Amino acid sequence: MVRVKTRTQEPNLDFAGTTPYEDYVHASVLHSLQQRWSNDPGEMSFLVITQIMELYFGLLCFEWQQAQQELRADDLDSARHTLHRSVLHLQGVNAAWRSIARMTPEEFNAFRSNLGEGSGFQSAMYRHVEFLLGEKSASMIVPHRAVPAVEAELESALRSPSLYDDVLEYLHRRGYAVPKEVLERDRSRVYEAHPEVERVWAEIYSSRAEHHDTQQLGEVLTDIAEEFARWRYDHLLATRRAMGSKPGTGGSAGVAWLEKRTQRTVFPELWTARSYV
């Protein structure tokens, strides 16, 4: 028996400048962005997790805008694949809460004063996420008026079709009876449930064999709505645990504000239609 001598391929360790990994990921830039304003070690967790969430918000916007393009091209398979991928991103951003969700009031107060009037509801990328989900509100652009590029981006998102608008346009092209007043509504206003759209989803869910592909579209949208509702609720719980009913850092009503937001449901007819199937 002849033994073949194999040689393990060693990785290249010698580069003239920065590593290709650094050039692609810009890891050093990411790690330079955590600027603590206190000596409390818990602030580092808060900063990193908040920044991770911001990156996820940007990724979700990218995915949902990609899905919109695919729906407009009537490429339902690609759109569903993109939307399924975004569900995993939502699960990731929800999991990020675990690291900071159990802060006691003492732990949060150790660095809270450094936030000043800073608050998560001032996040421009999170606002873009809400706008893409149909949660439109012109007043929420006001905090960004002093930054023209951000204001312009949010103004565009406010007046552009939401992901759900593109879904309903797609269903209309497929022959479903989505009413004209829904298709031609003012896209800058928050989406409100419509009984005719509810009937469309009830029809889709009445027969998997007849409406298999559009029913699967409905299911991935329901996954998105469910994970987004979970993010809002986990935010509420983390805030309640860390600061009780005190006013929020940005001057909002804190927990009371978040409780009001958790009562809203995106893609509302996907939930109510199930009562009629």
pLDDT tens across 126-150, in order? Answer: 999 999 999 999 999 999 999 999 9
- Please compute Rg for the chain using Cα positions: 23
When pLDDT is averaged across residues 177-195 and rounded to a whole number, the result is 96
Residue linked to tokens 């003012």: 186
Query: Is residue 155 predicted with pLDDT exceeding 70?
Result: yes
In whole angstroms, what is the distance from residue 257 CA to residue 19 CA? 46
For helices 255-262 and 212-243, the axis angle rounded to 10 degrees is 170
In whole angstroms, what is the distance from residue 19 CA to residue 5 CA? 31
State the chain's mean pLDDT as an integer: 91
Q: What is the pLDDT of residue 169?
A: 98
Q: What is the pLDDT of residue 72?
A: 98
Query: Is residue 257 predicted with pLDDT exceeding 90?
Result: no
Instruction: Give, in order, the Cα–Cα distances in Å from 263 to each of 127, 203, 226.
Output: 17, 26, 12
Q: What is the pLDDT of residue 181?
A: 97
In whole angstroms, what is the distance from residue 143 CA to residue 124 CA? 9
Q: What is the pLDDT of residue 261?
A: 76
Which has more pLDDT, 10 or 1? 10
Share of the chain above pLDDT 90, in %: 69
pLDDT band at 4 (very low <50, low <70, confident <90, very high): low
Residue 235 among known ligand-binding residues:
yes
Q: Which two tokens stand for residue 120?
A: 């998560």
Residue 82 among known ligand-binding residues:
no
When pLDDT is averaged across residues 13-27 and rounded to a whole number, the result is 91
Backbone angles phi, psi at 173, to 5 degrees: -65, -25
Residue 194 among known ligand-binding residues:
no
Taken in order 168, 173, 174, 180, the sign of the CA dihedral is positive
- Supply the pTM of this predicted model: 0.90
Share of the chain above pLDDT 70, in %: 94
Query: Is residue 43 predicted with pLDDT exceeding 60?
Result: yes
pLDDT band at 37 (very low <50, low <70, confident <90, very high): confident
Q: What is the pLDDT of residue 38?
A: 87
When pLDDT is averaged across residues 8-15 and rounded to a whole number, the result is 83
Q: What is the pLDDT of residue 129?
A: 98
42-112+119-244+251-276: in CATH 3.30.460.10: no
Q: What is the pLDDT of residue 242?
A: 82
Query: Is residue 91 predicted with pLDDT exceeding 60?
Result: yes
